[in-house]
Structure 1
Amino acid sequence: MKYLFTLICIIFVGCHTKTQYIELDQSKEYTTTGLDYHDIANAAEQSVKSLLSSGYAKRLDSSKPKVLVISDVLNDTMQMINTEQLTRKITRDLRNSGKFILTLALSSNGSSKDPMIDISREARDNAEFNQYTTIEQGELIAPELSLSGRIVQKNARVSSSEQRIDYYFLLTLVDLKSGLVLWDDEVNIIKLGSNKSVAW
């Protein structure tokens, strides 16, 4: 019994590691072959810059922002990626430009629909609510534009000890009325790492 207790103590102490904070500007030193915060932020920043510098965006009137909805953003990698982290950063920067505004009344897998939009409308027929304060029918604003995308990963062995990992961030902006593509872009992130590391 004493031996078992000693063994458990050794395992616990051996598995215990010190956790510490890392400043954001220093965290690049600890990059991995997988996609991390810096990769997502970089892809979002480049995509926003590309869209805002496009001929389409330059012609937009800031006093009449276009209503944007997030469509599918497919994760075609070997990793668990929350695609909303990418789309929220993109749409946040687009909203700050004054030329776009985001709706959460509709969404696909690239974003989260706000459930309270539908729930609040259930008060319309509830006698417990002052009906003068409920939301009337026909108040939701339909989206004009749809942003969709795909994140792709390709691995290739470059030597007996190293592998190259290519990531492609593909984004497309579509006019929902005409179905025409107004803008599309591709951001590439390429990493070189050990064959022993797995980009999960």
Structure 2
Amino acid sequence: MKKLIMITSVALTLTLVAGCTNKSVVRYGDATEVETTDISFGSTDLQKVAGDMTDSLLVSPVIGTLTANTRPIMFVESIKNKTSEHIDTESITDSISTKLLRSGKFRFVDMGRVEAARKQLDYQQNSGMVDAGKAMQFGKQVGAQYMLYGNLASIVKSNKDQSDVYYKFTLRLMDLESGLVEWADETEIRKTKGKEFVSW
């Protein structure tokens, strides 16, 4: 009888312990909430640089003149990553071009998809599978008038007590015909991580 009580007690204890173990829990968070996991380039930084640059471009008097009577056509060159981190700069350019398109002031050509478009046009023209009267024609695409391009650079410093990273994001708009830079701006981010004294 004592053995049965002991086995039951052990089994009950193990069940309770197993029920109290740590479990991974997934929750949705606010995508715009400030991210403070570490000092590397993160989602908050991406949103900040894309927002700052888009806002600056849209309120520029030069852009007001360019967009007064028409919606200029531009393309976004890949942002150059001059940091020591692996940063998805395509996400930055996607955010910027999306915000500019939503403004209704610009139109874009997507240079990253030109090869796919060429293959589709070639298929329509030469495969014999598409009604010739409904096939899209070569030579009718519209060229960009402006190129948006930029750099993301960083300076990282650290010692045994503190780490500091400084990011600078620069963006420029060039008139492709004249080669003139019509607009430029930059935004900066500084992040630090250090040991803090916590009293109990």
3-state DSSP of counterpart to 2:107: strand
- Judge conservation of contact 2:39–2:192 (CA < 8 Å) in 1: yes
Contact 2:72 2:145 in 1 (8 A): yes
Distance 1:177 1:152, change over 3 A: same
> 5+ residue gaps in structure 2?
1-21, 196-200
Q: Please state if 1:86 is matched with 2:87.
A: no
**Residues of 1 paired with 2:175 and 2:23: CA distance?**
52
TM-score (ref. length: structure 1): 0.78
Alignment correspondent of 1:125:
126
- In the TM superposition, structure 1's runs of 4+ consecutive aligned residues that sit over 4 Å from their partners are none
**1:174-194 CA deviation, whole Å, 9 max, x = no partner?**
000000001111110100014
Contact 2:169–2:188 (Cα < 8 Å) also in 1: yes
Partner residue, 1:163: 163
**Distance between the aligned counterparts of 1:97 and 1:65, measured in 2?**
10
Task: Give the aligned residue type for 1:56.
Answer: V
Aligned equivalents of 1:27, 1:125: Cα separation in 2? 51
* TM-score between both structures, scaled by the size of structure 2: 0.78
Q: Which position in structure 2 is the counterpart of 1:13?
A: none
In the alignment, does 2:40 pair up with 1:38?
Answer: no
Q: Which moved more, 1:171-180 or 1:70-79?
A: 70-79
Q: Highest Rg: 1 or 2?
A: 2
Say whether 1:96 aligns with 2:102: yes
In the other structure, the counterpart of 2:78 is 72
Query: Could you tell me which residue of structure 2 aligns to residue 182 of structure 1?
Result: 182
Other-structure match for 2:30: 24
Q: How many residues align?
A: 173
Aligned CA distance change for structure 1 residues 78 and 17 (closer, same or farther; 3 Å): farther
Could you tell me how far 1:139 is from its partner in structure 2?
1.0
Structure 1 contact 62–98 (Cα < 8 Å) conserved = no
CA contact (8 A) 1:173 1:183 kept: yes
CA–CA separation in structure 1 for the residues paired with 2:166 and 2:34 = 18
Paired residues of 1:47 and 1:185 also in contact (CA < 8 A): yes
Structure 1 pair 88–18 and aligned structure 2 pair: CA distance change class (3 A): same
Secondary structure in structure 2 of the residue aligned to 1:165: strand
* 1:142 match: secondary structure: coil
SS at match of 2:46: helix
> In the TM superposition, what is the alpha-carbon distance from 1:137 to its structure 2 partner?
2.2
Hey, what's the Cα distance between the residues in 2 that align with 1:55 and 1:134?
42
Please name the residue that 1:8 is paired with. none
Structure ranking higher on relative contact order (CA contacts 8 Å, 6+ apart): 1
- Closer, same or farther in 2 for the Cα pair 1:44/1:29, shift >3 Å? closer
Closer, same or farther in 2 for the Cα pair 1:181/1:124, shift >3 Å?
A: same
Q: Secondary structure at the match of 2:51?
A: helix
Q: Which residue of 2 aligns with 1:145?
A: 146
Consecutive unaligned residues in structure 1, runs of 5 or more:
1-15, 107-111, 196-200
- Tell me which amino acid in the other structure corresponds to 1:90: I
